């Protein structure tokens, strides 16, 4: 064929084919009244997806499939996951996926930003405390003290996709950041598929897509600490943003009047007792919100609030044990 004939071939066959493909990809989701949702169980928690403007349940199935893949990559306890390989590397370098490397790089960033309050090498403590399966046994001080020398992010090195833990008894746990990162990736996928409205709820970590139909903002309830799951202490209106909460009441047991919970002080190995019951972060990125909610909880009201105020496009609500609400300066408070 000559060049001119080639051009004609492209015009008459490929362009209509391209338009047809676009229409099949996009048009099937152009039903403004349609709405689908579903729930699943991943990352040890209930997850929920809501998509507006589509009837295409394959999109939700694809998200669940992605969640299963992330779980098999990032779980600390699942044999063969990237995290499991790092934790069983006996000091040898380990090659990990792009996602795992990206998450570890983010964790390093928030370690720096939080002055060490956010530290994924708390895993030896996480193993000892064993939430949520611990029936109420406070670990011996000696076992926590013995773990302390194996904790510290300076033990971990990331070079491209290669991870090395200097200390064979050191280990990592991505539970404080992974759900936020995964929610961001799912949102990217759904937006790429033409979804303009919906939300991704990973165990209470909410990431909204656009607004509700009719340009109405999402109204996200914030749980009353230790209240029923449906009991909200306040609500926040957001569009296209993440709302993530870290709270003592999520995973804990009570012994002799003390609440032992799952947010741990990297310096001591014990739950953080600083008068906070929860920290909620509003941000564009859910990975950022997840890392910051855990970081700010560990930092406490004063230092945590200072960190939030120093960041652009990030707002926070700190709730103290006495159920007082402390808002950052730009928090969109509800009027009612």
Site residues for ligand ADP per CB under 6 A: 118-120, 122, 126, 173, 175-176, 246, 250, 262-264, 266, 290, 293-294, 298
Supply angle C-alpha 232, 199, 252, rounded to 5: 45
248 binds, among Mg ion, ligand ADP, none (CB under 5 to 8 A by kind): none
Residue 288 binds which entry of ligand ADP, Mg ion, none, CB below 5-8 Å type-dependent? none
Q: How far is the CB of 210 from ligand ADP (least distance, A)?
A: 24
Closest approach, Cβ 321 to ligand ADP, in A, equals: 17
Q: Which does 318 bind (CB under 5 to 8 A by kind): Mg ion, ligand ADP, none?
A: none
Instruction: Pick the closer one to ligand ADP by CB: 197 or 286.
Output: 286
Helices (H), the chain: 3-9, 15-27, 57-74, 82-87, 98-113, 123-129, 141-148, 178-192, 286-309
Of the two residues 107 and 163, which places its CB atom closer to Mg ion in the complex? 107
* Residue 247 found at the interface with Mg ion (CB under 5 A): no
Q: How far is the CB of 290 from ligand ADP (least distance, A)?
A: 5
- Residue closest to ligand ADP (Cβ): 175
Q: Are 122 and 194 in contact (CB under 8 A)?
A: no
Could you give the angle at which helices 98-113 and 178-192 cross, rounded to 10 degrees?
Answer: 130
Which residue in 52, 208, 294, 328 binds Mg ion (CB under 5 A)? 294
Positions 174 through 203 that interact with Mg ion (CB under 5 A)? 176
Residue 241 contact, options Mg ion, ligand ADP, none, Cβ 5-8 Å cut-off depending on partner type: none
Q: Name which of 54 and 328 has its Cβ closer to Mg ion.
A: 328
Best CA proximity match to 78, nearest among 169, 167, 173: 173
Q: How far is the CB of 239 from ligand ADP (least distance, A)?
A: 23
Q: Which residue is nearest to Mg ion (CB)?
A: 294
Reported for 29-37, long-range contacts at CB under 8 A and 24+ positions apart, including other chains, are 29/53, 29/54, 29/56, 29/193, 29/194, 29/195, 31/55, 32/213, 36/60
- Nearer to ligand ADP by Cβ, of 34 and 267: the residue is 267
Strand pairing category for 156-159 and 45-52: unpaired
Please state whether 320 falls in left (phi above 0), alpha (psi between -120 and 50) or beta.
beta
Give CA torsion, residues 273, 277, 281, 287, to 10 deg.
Answer: 60
- Cβ-based burial of 38 (10 A; exposed 0-12, middle 13-18, buried ≥19): middle
Ranges within 147-176 binding Mg ion (CB under 5 A): 176
Minimum distance of ligand ADP from residue 103's CB (angstroms): 12
290 binds Mg ion (CB under 5 A): yes
Tell me whether residue 22 or residue 68 sits nearer to ligand ADP (CB atom).
68
Alpha-carbon distances, residue 243 vs 62, 125, 262 (angstroms): 23, 27, 20
Q: Which residues bind Mg ion (CB under 5 A)?
A: 176, 246, 290, 293-294
């Amino acid at each position: 064929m000559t060049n001119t004939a080639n051009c004609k071939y492209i015009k008459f066959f490929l362009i209509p084919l391209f338009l047809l493909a676009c229409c099949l990809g996009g048009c099937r989701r152009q039903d403004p009244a349609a709405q689908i949702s579903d729930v699943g169980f991943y990352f040890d928690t209930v997850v929920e997806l809501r998509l507006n403007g589509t009837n295409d349940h394959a999109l939700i199935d694809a998200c669940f499939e992605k969640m299963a893949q992330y779980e098999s990559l990032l779980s600390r306890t699942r044999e063969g996951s990237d995290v499991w390989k790092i934790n069983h590397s006996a000091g040898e370098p380990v090659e990990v996926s792009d996602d795992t490397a990206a998450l570890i790089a983010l964790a390093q960033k928030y370690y720096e930003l939080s002055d060490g309050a956010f530290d994924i090498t708390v895993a030896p403590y996480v193993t000892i405390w064993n939430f949520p399966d611990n029936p109420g046994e406070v670990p011996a001080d000696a076992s926590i003290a013995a773990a302390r020398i194996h904790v510290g992010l300076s033990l971990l090195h990331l070079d491209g996709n290669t991870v090395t833990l200097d200390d064979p008894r050191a280990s990592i746990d991505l539970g404080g950041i992974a759900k936020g990162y995964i929610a961001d990736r799912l949102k990217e996928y759904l937006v790429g598929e033409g979804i303009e409205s919906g939300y991704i709820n990973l165990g209470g970590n909410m990431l909204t897509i656009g607004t509700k139909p009719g340009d109405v903002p999402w109204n996200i309830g914030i749980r009353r600490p230790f209240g029923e799951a449906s009991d909200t202490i306040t609500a926040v209106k957001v569009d296209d943003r993440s709302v993530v909460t870290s709270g003592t009441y999520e995973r804990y047991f009570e012994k002799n009047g003390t609440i032992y919970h799952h947010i741990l002080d990297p310096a001591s190995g014990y739950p953080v007792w600083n008068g906070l019951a929860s920290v909620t972060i509003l941000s564009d990125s859910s990975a950022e919100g997840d890392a910051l909610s855990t970081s700010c909880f560990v930092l406490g009201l004063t230092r945590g609030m200072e960190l939030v105020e120093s960041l652009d496009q990030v707002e926070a609500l700190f709730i103290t044990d006495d159920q007082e609400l402390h808002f950052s300066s730009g928090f969109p408070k509800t009027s009612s």
